[in-house]
Structure 1
Amino acid sequence: MRLSGKSAVVYGAAGNMGGTVARAFARHGAHVYLVGRTQSTLDAVATEIVEAGGRATVARFDVFDQPAVEAHADRIVQQTGSLDISFNAVGMEAVQDIPLVDMKLEDFMAPITDSARSHFITTTAAARRMTAQGFGVIVLLSSSAAGESRHRMGGFNVACAGIEALNRGLAGEVGRYGVRVVCIRPNFTPETAPGLSAEDLAPLIRDTHLGRLPRMSEIAEAAVFAVSDGAGAMTGTVLNLTCGALVD
């Protein structure tokens, strides 16, 4: 298994994306530390992982609570000897489908400040421990919005572009200590919003070269590869999982 013996913290593990990635990490051998705000959903993910033969430990707190994030990272190191993988799948609330000229400042700024705060807190907590131990991988989650222009996204695209900038900057600082930083950029994933109709999804699908949108399983397996030794030469980059909506 690619991640055998690894310890992996997944923030936002109670959500669809975080839960899917956590299950994939566990399936590939990692001991997964599930963090989120909803105990029942975290417990459900943990139960599924354990029943499948994996290892999972739950911690309920808000990633905006920096002391809680720091203390939790310390506990992982104390229990396992190292913090090997950090993945932030925390979502952000964003007002969209309104022209920028008609949008309230607070609605525009909300996803930008929330995303920057959660990613700064979680990535720096991981970076402190990983640089001290001399290895580790930090994964951030962006979206195709970081490079799109024609959809009315409010501050969401700015937030995603900021995540990718943080990815580059942090990678440049911690690489010399043996730590890698990678960003995953999926397109909209229909499984995260099952109530949307084919008509709702059509404009997004038309933007892709593959004529479809990514599956959560594809994003999870890309995350597994990114944190594995097979991607050992990869850092400071963005994995493009937009199905061709953006072409690098």
Structure 2
Amino acid sequence: MQNLKDKVAVVFAASGDIAGAVARSFSQHGAKVYVTARNLDAVKALAQEISVNGSHAEAVKVDALNETEIDDFLNKVISENGKLDIVFNGIGIDYSEMGGRPPTTVATFEQFMAPMEKICGSQFLTSRVAAKYMMQTQSEGTILLLTAALSRSKLPNLAGITAASAAVEGMTRVMATEWGADGIKVICICTGAIMETKRISGWIDTAAKQYGISPEQLVAQYKAFDILKSTPTLKQTGETAAFLASETGVVFNSHIVDVDCGKLNIL
């Protein structure tokens, strides 16, 4: 079913696994998709894959932390299409960018703020610029943000990224309130650990070595909190984003939508 037929969608940080899955789902549901990242080769490959399957996709190099680049790019999208219907930002951060997982008493202020600047800062920039153009063109579009279940977890040595994840959720509610009068809905997708992503599989291997256990044991510890036997896939995450961006998805405006099949340790 093409519930996004004739929609214009932009996916920032599309070189990542989750954003790539979202871009594929948008296109499969009929949207014209622009995929962007700092790594142009990666999004070119994604756009080519989408186009081979009969959909329209265009790759553009954009730094989702550079407001000028974001503005120039979205202005180009508006010039070409006259509207902007959907924006998704899939930006993430590696532990290496936070100096690993130092205890809060050891972490520097810069290490604490790194996730806030990159994750929350990027979501702030792409969302507000997108909203500006949606208002100008009366697009009444959908802005989808991404956060992690760390926002409501209790894990040690992750103060910075936990605070940033919670901040994205709070910002979602504020922006939905501000922009609702212009017909713009704002929703935040909150994912648990999606095992097939490169970031999570890499973390599992690293953490298993650090703690002296097998990767299988580490995964089993995480899955012990699953309510169901199943865990979310990239495909399911992409399909969830496509549903939320559709006309039916309007019922979730301002909400944080968990994509984790249910976890006992998440509030």
Q: What amino acid is the match of 1:204?
A: Y
Matches for 1:1-248 after TM superposition, within 5 Å: 1-94=2-95, 95=98, 96-134=100-138, 135-193=140-198, 194-195=201-202, 196=204, 197-245=215-263
Deviations 1:157-207 (A, max 9, x none): 111101101100000000011000000001011111345322232222122
Answer whether contact 2:186 2:253 (CA < 8 A) is retained. yes
Q: Aligned-pair distance for 1:210?
A: 1.9
Q: Which runs of 5+ in 1 are unaligned?
A: none
CA distance in 1, matches of 2:126, 2:191: 20
Q: Secondary structure at the match of 2:154?
A: coil
Deviations 1:59-81 (A, max 9, x none): 10211111110111111111111
Q: Secondary structure at the match of 1:190?
A: coil
Q: What amino acid is the match of 1:190?
A: M
Deviations 1:55-113 (A, max 9, x none): 10111021111111011111111111100000000112343543222322221111112
Q: Secondary structure at the match of 2:251?
A: coil
Q: Output the aligned Cα RMSD.
A: 1.6
Q: Aligned-pair distance for 1:218?
A: 1.2
CA distance in 2, matches of 1:211, 1:106: 39
Q: Secondary structure at the match of 1:167?
A: helix
Which range is displaced more, 202-211 or 90-99?
90-99
Answer whether contact 1:98 1:154 (CA < 8 A) is retained. no
Deviations 1:97-155 (A, max 9, x none): 43222322221111112222211110001110112233000000011101001343231
Q: Percent identity?
A: 29
Count of residues in correspondence between the two structures: 248
Q: What amino acid is the match of 1:103?
A: A
Q: Aligned-pair distance for 1:211?
A: 4.1
**TM-score for both structures, normalised by structure 2:** 0.88
Answer whether contact 2:103 2:156 (CA < 8 A) is retained. no
Which range is displaced more, 88-97 or 116-125?
88-97
CA distance in 1, matches of 2:234, 2:226: 17
Q: What amino acid is the match of 1:64?
A: L
Q: What amino acid is the match of 1:118?
A: S
